[in-house]
Amino acid sequence: MAPTSTSPIEATGVADPASYTISYLLTLLLEAADKRLPTMLRYLVAATLAVRYPDDVDSIHFRIRSRTEGSLGEQVDVLFNDAVFYVAAQPSDLDFAEMVSDANAGHIVYLLVPSEHETAFRQAVANERSGIDKRVNVTGVEQFIAMLLERMAKFDHSAALRQLRQVLTKYNELVTRDAHAPSLQIILPDFDLEADAHKANAGFTSI
């Protein structure tokens, strides 16, 4: 992982963004985040939901929980309508009691994690004796975002990259508004989409 820095975060090593998947680009950004990872994760999720559901942006909220033993800091969930998105950087961030409580309350419970650690998280959830493993959706945050954007773009690659740029722009707006930390901002990749703009509609499409 890259060392902690006060500079904006950038995905490097992407010579031809069109030849890489959205998931790969997001993985590069997460790897560069280092200790800023927990904050980046929750704001990426919130930004993705805001772009996907622009008419329901007021329904997106953060819920702050107490720090769990061994966690990197305070835990913050993303709430959206009847869904609760637990966003975790490491297994020690998990609060199974809260997950059970949310599931019992009728919420749809998601656990979004860095894809490279998804297996470890799935094992931690499976080992929990509360039976929460059958009531929580565990997935890599990169795949979660990529799937939404690809479906919005009807699997058109150029359109999906435009949607990704919208998400990263919204992310920068949110962290500037809430965190006031320039180091949390992401340098927007140059996808060179102007050349083929005539091939795709830049607007949003429903799934």
The pLDDT score that the predictor gives to residue 3 is 38
The pLDDT score that the predictor gives to residue 21 is 67
Give the residue from 35, 37, 15 showing the smallest Cα distance to 26. Answer: 37
Tokens of residue 147, six digits: 């799937």
The pLDDT score that the predictor gives to residue 84 is 97
62 and 50 Cβ atoms separated by less than 8 Å: no
* Burial readout 122-157 (b: 16 or more C-beta within 10 A, e: otherwise): bebbeeeeeebbebbebbbbbbbbbebbbebbeebb
CA distances from 175 to 47, 110, 160 (A): 10, 22, 23
Question: What's the predicted TM-score (pTM) here?
Answer: 0.81
Give the residue from 190, 187, 173 showing the smallest Cα distance to 50. Answer: 173
The pLDDT score that the predictor gives to residue 31 is 92
The pLDDT score that the predictor gives to residue 67 is 59
Distance CA(114)–CA(110), nearest Å, equals: 13
pLDDT in tens, the chain (207 residues): 333 444 565 554 443 333 346 888 999 999 999 888 999 999 999 999 999 999 999 999 999 886 555 455 568 899 999 999 999 998 888 889 999 999 999 999 999 999 999 999 999 999 998 899 999 999 999 989 988 888 888 878 888 889 999 999 999 999 998 877 778 899 988 766 554 444 433 333 322
- Burial of 69 from C-beta contacts in 10 A (0-12 / 13-18 / 19+): exposed
**What does the domain layout of the chain look like in residue ranges?**
18-199
